[in-house]
Amino acid sequence: MRIGTLVSTAVVASNDPGSADPVVLVRDTILNQRKDGTTVLGGTEQLGAGREFAESWSGFVGRVGDPSGVAGTADTRYRAEDLVATSIRCLLQECEPLPDRGGRSGGAPDIVATYPSRWDSSTAALMKDSLVYAGLERVTLVSDAEAVSAWFESEIAALAGTLIGIYHVDDTGAAVTLVRSGVAAGRAFGFAGDGSSPSSRLATALGAFGWMPENLDAVVVTGDGEPATDKAAMMSIAAGIAEKLGVRCELGPGPEQSAALGAAILAAGFTSTSHTIVPIGLPPSHDVTEVFDTLGREKVAAETVAGVATVEPETAVVSGESESRGSKRILVGLTIAVVLAALAVLAYFLLL
């Protein structure tokens, strides 16, 4: 599941044979407290008009980590991370009854929730603490970028072990995260209104790791907040990246929902380096995934294919190339040492 700035999404799915079709649940990110103290997530469209609540909170996702908290309509303040945790609990309650089996360990189903990729480790830790405080220690947290990568590798990619660029836009600006074999490489690169183009931002992030645009297997464009509601603008970003970088670019099934679909795929057991096909059949929130192919530069409809794989250790993300470069340096150093030794022996005999 994913608690977004404006829209929150839960996906209930299983890859067990004979299991029910996946269910996608979408709610406005408005947390409402009833007069009896219970809470429910959603806006008027989902909950119906005429309902009276004691208090409501919105706009809290971007305030996680802010010690001043977030005020509700009756001016009651709560920490934003606690409001997010309560929103997750509300979504889980709507998904009930959940089975008592089906998890990867054989017990209760696994629950995976995503958080914005631009969060640092301390902010993610605050969120985890709030989940534990709310009795949701079962919930596993992953970044949006890791979940989107799982969605791409499971539903779209033909091969495992790909390098994917996640280009995310929201109300605070843009962020680029590079994901290889299901694990994020380093931090998310944030760009808040610096005037640079999406393609140049991707090139900047790639350059930080010594990579070039041609090293990318694909770019997935995602969004949140108001930018995600402008599909024409999102399609323009994806088309521009495909044209300027010469790379396949995807605009997922609902730019704000790709991460939630990826979280469900991870919860169902997907990992990322062996690509055994076990279809999960997640329904897209839109009819098609928009694919911008650099060859014809024409938009086509892509049918999704599910898969399961094995994740590489996190240390392998950036160490693989550095080890390769290190091996080359050692080999060159040994070669130079041998040459110098040979010259020294030759000089000795000449002096004799």
Query: What is the maximum alpha-carbon separation in the chain?
Result: 106
Is the distance from CB of 2 to CB of 9 less than 8 angstroms? yes
- Reduced to 3 states (helix: H, G, I; strand: E, B; else coil), residue 97 is coil
What's the pLDDT at 138?
Answer: 92
- Four-point Cα dihedral 179, 185, 187, 188, nearest 10: -20
Is the distance from CB of 223 to CB of 190 less than 8 angstroms? no
Q: Token digits for 106?
A: 């054989």
Q: Evaluate whether residue 51 is within a structural domain.
A: no
The C-alpha atoms of residue 134 and residue 136 are separated, in whole angstroms, by 6
Rounded to 5°, angle at Cα 201 from 197 and 206: 150
Strand partners, 115: 143
DSSP state of 284: P
**Residue 162 maps to which CATH number?**
3.30.420.40
Cβ neighbours, 10 Å, residue 346: 10
39: left (phi over 0), alpha (psi -120 to 50) or beta: beta
Report CA-CA distances (Å) from 243 to 15, 66, 166, 224, 249: 36, 39, 16, 24, 9
Which of 91, 93, 88, 63 is CA-nearest to residue 77? 63
Is the distance from CB of 112 to CB of 147 less than 8 angstroms? yes
- In 212-292, at which residue ranges do the beta strands (DSSP E only) sit? 218-223, 249-251, 271-276, 289-292
Q: Calculate the CA 110 to chain-centre distance.
A: 17
Write down the pTM of the prediction: 0.75
The C-alpha atoms of residue 236 and residue 249 are separated, in whole angstroms, by 11
Q: Evaluate whether residue 284 is within a structural domain.
A: yes
Domain limits for position 278: 147-309
Q: Evaluate whether residue 84 is within a structural domain.
A: no
Backbone torsions φ then ψ of 241, nearest 5 degrees: -65, -45
Q: Evaluate whether residue 130 is within a structural domain.
A: no
What's the pLDDT at 271?
Answer: 65
Is the distance from CB of 220 to CB of 198 less than 8 angstroms? no
Q: Evaluate whether residue 275 is within a structural domain.
A: yes
Residues in the chain: 352
Helices (H) and strands (E) in the chain, counts: 9, 20
Give residue for tokens 């970088």: 245
Q: Evaluate whether residue 267 is within a structural domain.
A: yes
Mean pLDDT in order along the chain per 10 residues (352 residues): 95 76 89 95 82 93 96 97 98 84 69 94 97 96 92 77 88 89 66 80 91 91 92 94 93 84 87 49 42 39 29 30 40 46 48 46
What's the pLDDT at 105?
Answer: 65
- Reduced to 3 states (helix: H, G, I; strand: E, B; else coil), residue 56 is strand
- What total of structural domains would you count in the chain? 1
Q: Evaluate whether residue 35 is within a structural domain.
A: no
What's the pLDDT at 191?
Answer: 78
Give residue for tokens 């072990």: 161
Report CA-CA distances (Å) from 271 to 3, 110, 124, 337: 23, 14, 22, 44
Q: Token digits for 203?
A: 């090139």
Q: Evaluate whether residue 300 is within a structural domain.
A: yes
